[in-house]
Amino acid sequence: MKIFLVGYMGCGKSTKAKQLAHRLEYPVVDLDAEIVKKSGKTIAEFFETFGEQGFRDYESEILKTYNYPENCVVATGGGLPCFFDNMDWMNDHGETIYLEMEPAQLVSRLHNRHKRPLIKDLDDEQLLEFVKVKLEERNPFYRKAGIIVNAFDLDVEKLEKEVKKLQG
Ligand code: S3P
């Protein structure tokens, strides 16, 4: 089973993907890390060189061409589900879980802003407004996920239980 974790920046996709993969004894795939590995650029450098559109094209290509193991947990970039047919593609090729979180909670977790080109120049107040607006835009895509879980204080046992339900 391929399990794609989706959700806004800061909701904990990479950490939860690692923890869940560990419990299920599946390998973990981090698509942002794959972009960095394949392109030889950090995400920030990629945005600077090719712009957001170039990044979206490349992340969709990586999503669809990566050689996934039969069973794996995949951490996706926060914007990935919201471009092209990426969300439908993930639903067709595996199971999707939306790690849902409130804007204020996301903001409190968004450290290392300089690594995230979309928010690197925003102060705290601007960031909260930005996250509120973006989340509203993105939620219709995220909510196509097969499972939606509240990601605040989420423990990995709960996530694992949800996956076990899918496995029957
Ligand atoms: C983005 C989220 C980032 C990364 C890029 C764009 C977004 O991933 O893909 O900076 O549009 O929300 P994380 O959600 O892992 O921070």
pTM score: 0.97
**C-beta 78 within 6 A of ligand 1:** yes
Which of these, 38, 45, 37, 31, lies nearest to 86 by C-alpha position? 31
pLDDT at 168 over 90: no
Alpha carbon of 38 to ligand 1 centroid (Å): 17
Whether CATH 3.90.1570.10 fits 2-163: no
Give the number of C-alpha atoms closer than 13 A to the C-alpha of residue 85, restricted to the C-beta side: 6
**C-beta 12 within 6 A of ligand 1:** no
Residues 3-43: tens digit of each pLDDT:
999 999 999 999 999 999 999 999 999 999 999 999 999 99
Alpha carbon of 80 to ligand 1 centroid (Å): 8
Among protein residues, the one whose CA lies closest to atom 10 of ligand 1: 116
Residues 103-142: tens digit of each pLDDT:
999 999 998 888 899 999 999 899 999 999 999 999 999 9
Q: Is 42 helix (H, G, I), strand (E, B) or coil?
A: coil
User: Given strand 95-100, what is the order of strands in its sheet?
Assistant: 28-30, 72-75, 2-6, 95-100, 147-150
- To 10 degrees, the CA torsion angle through 100, 101, 107, 111? -60
